[in-house]
Structure 1
């Protein structure tokens, strides 16, 4: 199912906690490099001692952008959400949770959106029986929600006292919404992934709200609207 974003016209809204990551779509190489460098500065700030982290962030997102675009991605964003605390800011959040949102367009033989959604649900259920798959109805039409978890393990250097290898594990959760285009052989895929698995229910709600805003058009390019003005992202949770 190769990615394809050509002539795909659709619109959606995201909350202000999401901060768009440059993909370089339609930009020359110099302009794209400048955009990624600016994103790294917004993320880490201007402190001189954080320059190595800004360089790593720039290189990481620049390298990832090419793979995303080749897969049909038309939007990529980093979400930074304060969890807990008071709405008026008098009580600070308990922690800061992070997630990545990608929106992509895929080519797919799509004779009928309802038939296609049912086929996607069956295929996902058979491919990953440990995941959750559900057919849903969005304002724009039928869709499929897919939730899956994964586990990553890193082997750390030997401990100074035990002399035995140590392992560190981390769990990830991925929430997808598959939406067939109503009038063409294309598929819209919204994907939200996070390592903060304790916030799964929060992110299910976030992605559901985004999916409810999806609208397909005919003549306009893909567009995304932010629900309110967003502050620059910070890994330290200061807003």
Structure 2
């Protein structure tokens, strides 16, 4: 699953997790290849367990012999979702993207590429979105993760794109096994709130980096914020959460270059 960074570099804009009742409203669109993972925000344990059970059935199907896998999936995703929500996540999903083949299905895809998407909201000292974005870009450029940080202009305001990779080594009986992953982030200060919107797409299919850059660019172009900040702060968290549409947005200009 995706983990979201908590920057603490000296001189960087102060970023922290938001209070649950203060998450502001915003909207974006997701392509249909994404499938939402429940986070259990503003619901009790019983409701979240039921949501996770439905998620596991959708993931594995209804075959009786797969019940142990469904139970394990519901339990693991449930624990992870609770932690993500405590850390400020407001939307979680996994993406399944066919690579190759034809749109009409006459030719099957050559392979399937998978990714995870996490959207979170954090507190940010944000006197001016453009200045905040510049500070975020500098912080990321000096961060331990390395990678590339690029300021971009989006219809909803200034933002920063950060791309970074990671390498893991696993000890196996047959020897060491290397795995690689890539993470594409969009850091966007709210236009009139002391808050930050953070999108993160991560994948171990590193050869599909350009695909997921384009996917996040399409999502980024659909982001909109509610205009009345004071009204947003007074809404309940459930009403203020992401409203993600499972429709494919129109093809916008790619702000990621």
TM-score strictly above 0.5: yes
Give the Cα separation in 2 of the matches to 1:68 and 1:129.
20
Corresponding residue for residue 73 of structure 1: 89
- Aligned equivalents of 1:45 and 1:167: distance in 2? 34
Distance in 1, Cα, partners of 2:33 & 2:70: 21
Q: Secondary structure at the match of 1:123?
A: helix
Alignment of 1:61-140 (within 5 A): 61-128=77-144, 130-140=146-156
1:33 partnered with 2:49? yes
Secondary structure at the residue paired with 1:62? Answer: helix
Matched, 1:189 2:178: no
1:195 CA drift (Å): 0.7
Within 5 Å, give how 1:162-181 maps onto structure 2: 166-181=175-190
1:225 to 230, 245, 249: 245
RMSD value, Cα: 1.3
What is the alpha-carbon distance in structure 1 between the residues aligned to residue 108 and residue 224 of structure 2?
36
- Kept in 2, the 8 Å contact 1:11–1:214? The answer is yes
1:20 aligns with 2:32: no
- CA offset digits 1:134-188 (Å, max 9, x no partner): 000000010000000001111112x4xxxxxx11111011000000001010000
1:48 CA displacement: 2.1
Deviation at 1:129, TM superposition (A): 6.7
2:225 — aligned with what? 216
> What is the aligned length?
221
In 2, the alpha carbon distance for the partners of 1:216 and 1:129 equals 29
Q: Which residue of structure 2 aligns with residue 55 of structure 1?
A: 71
Q: Is the 8 A contact 1:20 1:76 kept in 2?
A: yes
Q: Contact 1:79–1:98 at 8 Å: present in 2 too?
A: yes
Q: TM-score, normalised by structure 1?
A: 0.89
Q: For the residues of structure 2 that align with 1:186 and 1:7, how far apart are their CA atoms?
A: 9
1:155 counterpart residue number: 171
Q: Greater CA deviation, 118-127 or 58-67?
A: 58-67
Residue 45 (structure 1) aligns with: 61
Alpha-carbon contact 1:177-1:191 (below 8 Å) kept? yes
Q: Secondary structure of 2:50's partner? A: helix
> Contact 1:132–1:147 (CA<8 Å) still a contact in 2?
yes
Give runs of ≥4 in structure 1 deviating > 6 Å: none
Checking the alignment, whether the CA contact within 8 Å between 1:3 and 1:73 is kept in structure 2 is: no
Please state whether the residue corresponding to 2:142 is helix, strand or coil. Answer: helix
Aligned to 2:47, the other structure's residue is in SS state helix
Question: TM-score normalised to the size of structure 2?
Answer: 0.83
Match of 2:212 among 194, 200, 203: 203
